[in-house]
Amino acid sequence: MKFLSSLRGKSQAEEFPLLPLRDLVLFPHTLMSVFVTYKTGMTAIDEALKRDLRLFAACLKMRDATETYAEGSVVRIVQHLKMPDNTFRVMLQGEYRGTIASSTTRNDLALVKIEPIRPAADDAADRETLALMRTVQKSFAQYAENTKKISADTIIATEKTESLERLADIVCHALQVKTERKVELLGVAEPIKRLEAVLATLELENEIFAIQKHISGKVKTRMEKNQREYILNEQIREINRELGKDEKEDEFAEMEWAIEAKNLKEEIALKARKELARLRRLQPFSPEAGVLRGYLEWIIDLPWEERTVDSGDLAGAERILHEDHFAMREAKERILEFIAVRRLLSLENERAGIKGPILCFVGPPGTGKTSLGKSVARALGRRFVRISLGGVRDEAEIRGHRKTYVGALPGKIIQGMRKAGMINPVFLLDEIDKLSHDVRGDPASALLEVLDPEQNSAFTDHYLEVPYDLSQSLFITTANSLHTIPYPLLDRMEVIEIQGYGELEKRAIAQTFLVPKSLRENGLGAAAVSFTDAAILAIVRHWTMESGVRGLEREIARCVRRTAQDAVKENYGQDTGKPLAAFARTVEEADLEKLLGKRKYKRETVGQESRVGVAYGLAWTEAGGTMLIIETIAFTGSGDPVITGNLGDVMKESARIALSYLKSAGERYGVSLALEGLNIHIHVPEGAIPKDGPSAGAAIAASLLSTMRQTPPKAGVAMTGELTLTGRILPVGGLKEKLLAAIRNNMERVILPKANTEDWDALSTDIKDSLSIDFVDTADQAFSLLFPPVPEPH
C-alpha cells in the first residue's frame, strides 16, 4: 500500500515489542479487551510489562501465518490478567498509528522500529472539511441504526469530536467490515482522504443494508399476504355459519352454478354434486381438496351440449375441398355425402339417429392426409383437433388415469374435446398405424370404444368416471399402411385410399399450391416469380423419388430461397431500394442445377439391361411404390433352394411356389437344365430393407425361368402379380403406386394381372400414356411376352 510519507512524523523511530493479532485491527482513541493465547503474543506482553507497557499491535496477513501487515497501532496496556496457563487477558488502548520500519527477532520475541503516521493538520479548518465530517457522522448514525450493535456512547463520541483523526478512528473501530479493508483505512495518512474512504465504506454498507431490507420486505409481504388470505377465508366461513347460509364460500357457489348451467345428464350431474359436497367438507389446502377441485374444473370446462352448426352449403364445401387439395376424389365425395345427409336431417333426428363416420385415410407420406382433415373441418364449419398417436404405448394416454393418482389427467381424447370446446369437432388421430404397446397396456385396444359409432356415445375415461358422448364427432385417422393396424380396430373404420401422384398431378399441385405457398413463406409473395412446367417436371424426375409431394415442396422452397437471396443482392424490397413488386424471375429447367445442385436421380436405371436370371417386379411400400430387382443363379449342390434379401415369410412362399410350378411345367418352357443336383439361389438386392407380400410371385418365376433357359428376359419390362401352383396370375393391390414406381424407373412396359383391368381404367391419363400394358391371366401368357418362343423339337 502507498502512503504519504511526507505526512509521517519526523521524530526518531521508537522500538516496541510486536503483538501479532488474528483478525483484529486496533485503532487509536479506542479500548479493546484481547485474549492472548499464542506464544509470540505472550512473549510480547511479557516484554512490554518489563518496559513501559507499550507495544505495537499489527494484524496477521493470514490467520495461520507469521507475517503481519506493516501498518498498525502503538497501544498501551491498561489492564492485564495472567491466567494459570500463562495466557493473558489484556485491555489495550490505542495511542497512535505507525508503520514498521525494521524488525529483529530474538527467540520468540519480535522487536520492531515504528515510524509514526502523524498528519500535519487534524481539525476542520474549512467549510468543506466540516461538511465532510458531518456527512460521515450522519452516515455512521444510519449505519448504527441498521446494525443495532453500536452503543449510544460511541455514537455520541462521534458527534462531539472535532478531530478528523479521532472521528475516523472511532468509526473504523465500530465498522463490521473485512480485516483487509480496516487495514487500508488505518494506513491512509492524509486525514481528508482517510475520512473520504471511511465515508465510501459507510455508504456501501448502508446500501447493502437497504437491499437486504427490501428483499426481506418482499418475502415478509408475500408471507403476510398468504396468512391474511387464510385468516379472511376462515372469517368468511364463520360469518356464513352465523348467517345460516348454505354456500360456505363463493368458490363453491360458483362451481355449483356452473354445474347447473351445463345442463348435464342426471347421472353426470349427480356425480358432480357428490364430489362438490365432498370438497366442501375438506380443508382448503389438503391434497384431496386439490384433486377434487381439479376434477370439478374438468367437468365444468368440457363441452357436454355445446355444438357448432354444420354448414349445409354443399357447393361451398366442395369449393373449399378443391381449393385446398388436388385430386383425392374418393375422400372428397365421402365428405360431401356426409354433408348432404346432415342437411336432410333435422336437429332432433340428428341427435337421435346419425352418427359421425369413422374415416381412415391410407396412403404414402406427403400425399396430404393430415391437411385434408383440416380442410374437412373448414368445409363443415367445425372445430379441428389433431392428436399424434405415433409412438403412444400407454393405454392411459387414451383412457386417462384414475384421479386418485398424483398428477392424474384425462386421456388425449378428453383433452382434445376440452381444447375443441364443442361436442362435434373434426377429430384427427394421426399415424394410427404407428401405435405401440408394452406392459402398460395396448392403446389400440383402448381405441376400439372410441372408434365404434355404436359404443362411443358412452365413452368412459378413467379420470372422469362418467360416460362422455363422442358420437357427434367426426373421427378421421391417418396411416401409411393397414398391415400394422389390428383387425378389430380396422373393421370399425371406413378406409379411403389416398394414392400417390403422377407427374402431371405433381405439376398441377406444384403450380396451384406449392409454389404460391413457398413464395409467401419466403418473402416473395409480392414479387413476380414463377416456375415453368418443364422446370417442375424436371424437379419431379431428377430431384425427387417419391409418391407424395413433400420432397417436391422442399426442392421448390430451395429454389425460392436462392431467388430471394438474388433479390436482396439486387437491392429489392429494402426501404431505400427497389420495390419488391418490380422483381421478376422465371425459374426454367436450365436454372435448376445452379439452384439445386447436381441431379440426384439420373433415370438411367438397371431396368434397361437384359441379363440372364434378372427380372423386374413392382412392390408397394408404406412410402409408395418401388421396383424390385430379382436375381437368380444355379450351381451344383444339394438341390436345396437358397432365398436371401431380407424377405418375409409370404415372399419366401411365393419363391417356393414359383420353383415348384417351373419344376412341374419345365418341359413346356424348354427348360434344359436338370434341376436335380442343382442349388437355386434367389436374391433381392437392398437386403437391409424388409420385403414381403405375394405380388412378386410372377416376377420370381420369370427370373427362375431365365436362369433355367439361360435366356435373358426382354429389357425395360416390369411385372406384378401373384402366382399360384397351377400357373394362374392373381390380382394385386396398390396398382397406382406400383405403376408410378415403374415410371420413375424409366420402364417402358408392364405386365399386369387381367383382373386388375378395372383398376387400370380408373387411373389418370398421364399414367396410361406413360406405359404400355399387357394383361395376362396365366404364367404362360406372361412368359410368352418376356421370352422368345420355345423352338419345336426336331
Q: Active-site residue numbers?
A: 695, 738
Q: Rounded to the nearest 5°, which phi and psi values hold at 393?
A: -130, 5
The residues that bridge with 636 in the sheet, in sequence order, are 678
Q: Provide CB contacts within 8 A for 581, sequence distance 6+.
A: 526, 527, 528
Cβ–Cβ < 8 Å for 360, 496? yes
Cβ–Cβ < 8 Å for 682, 644? yes
The residues that bridge with 388 in the sheet, in sequence order, are 430
**Which amino acid makes up residue 435?**
L
Buried b / exposed e over 648-661, threshold 16 CB at 10 Å, is eeebeebbebbbeb
Supply 160's cell numbers.
Answer: 462531539
Supply 768's cell numbers.
Answer: 396410361
| DSSP code per residue over 40-107 | HHHHHHHHHHHTTSEEEEEEBSSTT-S-B-SEEEEEEEEEEEE-TTS-EEEEEEEEEEEEEEEEEEET
Burial of 438 (0-12, 13-18, 19+ CB in 10 A): exposed
Q: Provide CB contacts within 8 A for 793, sequence distance 6+.
A: none
For residues 214 and 435, what is the distance between their CA atoms, to the nearest angstrom? Answer: 55
Supply 510's cell numbers.
Answer: 406444384
For residues 22 and 405, what is the distance between their CA atoms, to the nearest angstrom? Answer: 60
Degrees to nearest 5, angle at CA 161 with 155 and 164:
110
| DSSP code per residue over 688-754 | TS-B--STTHHHHHHHHHHHHHT-PPPTTEEE--EEPTTSBEE--S-HHHHHHHHHHTT--EEEEEG
**Using CA of residue 131, residue 134, residue 140, residue 144, what is the dihedral sign?**
negative
| Residue 688 CB coordination number (10 Å) | 7
For residues 500 and 547, what is the distance between their CA atoms, to the nearest angstrom? Answer: 5
Distances (CA, A) of 64 to 20, 38, 60, 87: 11, 11, 8, 19
For residues 164 and 191, what is the distance between their CA atoms, to the nearest angstrom? Answer: 6
Cβ–Cβ < 8 Å for 343, 379? no
Cβ–Cβ < 8 Å for 677, 631? no
Closest listed residue to residue 735, CA positions, set 552, 478, 499, 510: 499
Cβ–Cβ < 8 Å for 29, 137? no
For residues 716 and 546, what is the distance between their CA atoms, to the nearest angstrom? Answer: 20
Cβ–Cβ < 8 Å for 630, 704? no
Cβ–Cβ < 8 Å for 92, 32? yes
Supply 20's cell numbers.
Answer: 501479532
Burial of 404 (0-12, 13-18, 19+ CB in 10 A): exposed
Helix (H/G/I), strand (E/B), else coil: 634: strand
Closest listed residue to residue 154, CA positions, set 633, 166, 772, 652: 166
